[in-house]
Structure 1
């Protein structure tokens, strides 16, 4: 039995002993003493950091410290600037409820406040320090979502994995990802301020997580979609092992990092849309006005360019060069990586536009122009592997491979030269119902693995998701438990439980109700992309 599993078993056994022993008996007293010695003091949830004391809230099996500031508020003189260090707060910070996240796109309601550089910490109440630390970066196209979304609650993972789990908010949209250096050289690099926020949070973890029972030398960063793109960018930086030993990249390959030209053109589009001629013009806008400008700037865009308008860019310093090229050269040679995708990533967009599942081959305009001579041949192969599926479904399988799966495998191949690397694919989906429209019969879409990784099984956003959880809860809970175990085992340094990925074996964990390992799955389709170097994002 692995060491951290022994610790988990011991804590459970002590609690069981306490429940079974007669009240007031020696057995009960011994169990209480054991729990007190191995748990947090009293009722609770307190930590002492160099910034001041922190009081959290007791939850089932863990302490939660919510809304802890990791950097100074990016407001006033700090607006559009790199994150500044958090000043000591003096006294005790009551971290007992979540704080609002960063301002989101108006399409999501525009919720949030600019004073948003906070993080949440969940620490098991099994006591002892030096637990591995898991830091999550949320997705949302760099313009949506927050650490406060219920699906990102790290409490279950902390208890099941005997780890300290952290998630965080970072600046979104124009406020965090628009390059202002073209207006004023003093703001050069501001288009990566959201990435700097994430790095500042990881620095905070290194300085302070020991106070919460975590080991600052044993950090795993994991993220999905935009959060995974950020991690990919970090892997291309100088010495990422300074901040984390392991990384999990969930549906966010490195080629979605922007080129310098793309970052410049995106900024110019914002400035032209808003009549912005100086940073002062932008700075005088209220939060609401910034979001309205953001909405107008993106209103003229369509297709993938709207979804990837914001994001980290290759600035030559924070991100020195293209991700896969840098990783292949050994930029992350000291970091273990796990990377994966869902089987039907692009089905996700049908939640907002059902017509995407009817995309004909003739309308597949994002297909690489340099591969035009093999487009029909590739379609024929994908179609032959999916007999009976309509054209739109086959095209979406190709699009999933182009945007997510194949670039993820390229990243894994590059990293496998240096450190143990693991690949997965999430295949489970809400069961199909014959006769329903395609948009009501989604496959394993983008984001679908998250409710399983965190253990909450919040499938409400997917058609018939809540109903399926009610009907299949035991089976879905087992799948979720296995995934949480894999993620936390990886964070403990034990590997996730399946063989390493190499270009020869291509070992891949398939996550379904009965998980399996497949070697080189869909390899005939993967090989069709050989010879194509996925470029960094440029539009």
Structure 2
């Protein structure tokens, strides 16, 4: 059963030329929607027109990381000749199909194409109107997922928010997140290559998004789960404001960025003696090796935390919360939050799975540093809960909710910061699980990996559509101005900035409300624990 859970666990130069289809005699955006062609400093790109938007799919932002470039930092793409037909919506970085939690663009069971460093753009027009830009970094345990999942379709965000939406692929698993410097010093830092891919894509956006109608000086990076871990790690790099002006973190923060010690443990599990040996392996062989390592050494929910950015001291300088508290991201606006029952996601295979996840939390994940207060904490969480539900609530708080409050508090010293909790529960048994906010943020209403989601949505479609509209308005308002309250086309409460001691939190549900310090007594039980990085006892 735990193996099944593991398998299911699872974000050059400046543009210089005007759109080839716009003219001074044409209203802004009208001509560009006709043929969806634009000219960048890299070459001409042609997309497709759809529902009043231009969609560009599968634009390569970095060279294929194959051959001598495998396990190397990404190399930005160069110029091309002719017109690039940006119509490929099937790019998926190498992975085995995750049959439960991912919403793949086709029916393949195995994805092996390493030439996957591509991005998608949705825009109301290639007309140089300098719209706000949203760049989405997908989740999937840094092991699964793709920017081409239908649930991540950017059309509604682009239309409702008059924004340019970008989604990006990045290397996954061993290919993107294995530190090989111990095998060959010239590969030092390879454990953050997936992060470097994302940063390269963000630089591509900075340099070229103006030719797609976006404003390179107004970029918001949005990440979910592993995508949020990655973006939070960027907050601990030098000058994150050069990558984006704003960040939205959904269900992920710096607490799950790996420590250097944990990354060494991951590296030591590779059953090879040289990088050359790894480079000779086929993609399929690497995926098989990866699955074997995780199933044998890190069963159950540990598979969801096996790959991640890590604190290497060079790119990711130190603990995210520490760096943010020191003002490293003082020029970046921050909105973040979690779902009410995050860890129940990994128990959706049934009562046995729920019990198994709770037991693994109690035996593996609970911090040894808090052993002296464990009995008191368990007693507090048991009020009104079963033993299993209490363990899962503690796990959700430790892994997601409390670190988010810490990061919000750290950044609130420098910038207005906004915290949320998503609480809609399609079933009482599982609640508001990990990933449940995504169908609402994108307005796609695709409930992959959320048991009972489709049925519950159909039963309350009108109110849940309003909830989605409220969230999209808040997300795109924050994207445009740094304030989620600036645009409210659908009535919703004013969302105050997060500051201690009030700790105002937007509670997203069919009747959205604002609560001050929700479940504050449970949050306070974690006081003194640093949430510096992800590590486990030896």
Query: Is the shorter-chain TM-score for this pair beyond 0.5, marking a shared fold?
Result: yes
Aligned with residue 474 of structure 1, among 451, 462, 475? 462
2:370 is equivalent to residue 371 of structure 1 = yes
1 CA distance for matches of 2:132 and 2:361? 47
1 CA distance for matches of 2:381 and 2:469? 33
Alignment partner, residue 497 of structure 2? 500
Alignment partner, residue 319 of structure 1? 316
How far did 1:370 drift? Answer: 2.1
5 Å-filtered alignment, 1:30-45, equals 36-41=27-32, 43-45=34-36
Alignment partner, residue 276 of structure 2? 280
8 Å CA contact 2:127–2:211 kept in 1: the answer is no
Single out whichever of 110-119 and 465-474 deviates more from structure 2. 465-474
5 Å-filtered alignment, 1:64-143, equals 64-105=55-96, 109-125=109-125, 129-143=129-143
Aligned with residue 392 of structure 1, among 388, 403, 406? 388
2 CA distance for matches of 1:418 and 1:299? 43
- The C-alpha deviation readout for 1:202-256, integer Å capped at 9, x for no partner, is 0000110000000001100010000000011000111100110100011111021
Count of residues in Structure 1 that have an aligned counterpart in Structure 2:
492
8 Å CA contact 1:203–1:243 kept in 2: the answer is yes
8 Å CA contact 2:72–2:190 kept in 1: the answer is yes
Alignment partner, residue 339 of structure 1? 336
Name the CA shift for 1:333/1:43 in 2 (closer, same or farther; >3 Å). same
2 CA distance for matches of 1:381 and 1:324? 26
8 Å CA contact 1:106–1:295 kept in 2: the answer is no
How far did 1:464 drift? Answer: 2.2
Q: Which has the higher helix share?
A: 1
Alignment partner, residue 9 of structure 2? none
Structure 1's unaligned 5+ residue stretches are 1-32, 433-440
2 CA distance for matches of 1:310 and 1:423? 26
- The C-alpha deviation readout for 1:316-371, integer Å capped at 9, x for no partner, is 11101111111111110100100100000001001346434336679712211222
Aligned with residue 309 of structure 1, among 283, 306, 311? 306
How far did 1:377 drift? Answer: 1.7
How far did 1:92 drift? Answer: 0.5
5 Å-filtered alignment, 1:444-523, equals 444-497=432-485, 498-523=495-520
Alignment partner, residue 223 of structure 2? 223
Name the CA shift for 1:81/1:153 in 2 (closer, same or farther; >3 Å). same
1 CA distance for matches of 2:26 and 2:457? 34
Name the CA shift for 1:304/1:466 in 2 (closer, same or farther; >3 Å). closer
How far did 1:291 drift? Answer: 0.3
SS in 1 for 2:111: coil
Name the CA shift for 1:61/1:184 in 2 (closer, same or farther; >3 Å). same
Alignment partner, residue 266 of structure 1? 266
Which has the higher relative contact order, 1 or 2, with Cα contacts under 8 A spaced 6 or more apart?
2
8 Å CA contact 2:246–2:482 kept in 1: the answer is no
SS in 2 for 1:43: helix
2 CA distance for matches of 1:417 and 1:333? 9
- The C-alpha deviation readout for 1:58-105, integer Å capped at 9, x for no partner, is 111211000000011111111111111212111111112313210014
Alignment partner, residue 11 of structure 2? none
2:423 is equivalent to residue 427 of structure 1 = yes
2 CA distance for matches of 1:244 and 1:128? 19
How far did 1:378 drift? Answer: 1.6
- The C-alpha deviation readout for 1:136-182, integer Å capped at 9, x for no partner, is 00000000000011111111100000100000100000000001111
8 Å CA contact 1:255–1:534 kept in 2: the answer is yes
Single out whichever of 282-291 and 471-480 deviates more from structure 2. 471-480
8 Å CA contact 1:47–1:54 kept in 2: the answer is yes
8 Å CA contact 1:428–1:511 kept in 2: the answer is yes
SS in 2 for 1:221: strand
8 Å CA contact 1:252–1:404 kept in 2: the answer is yes
Provide the TM-score with structure 2 as the length reference: 0.88
Alignment partner, residue 404 of structure 1? 400
How far did 1:469 drift? Answer: 2.1
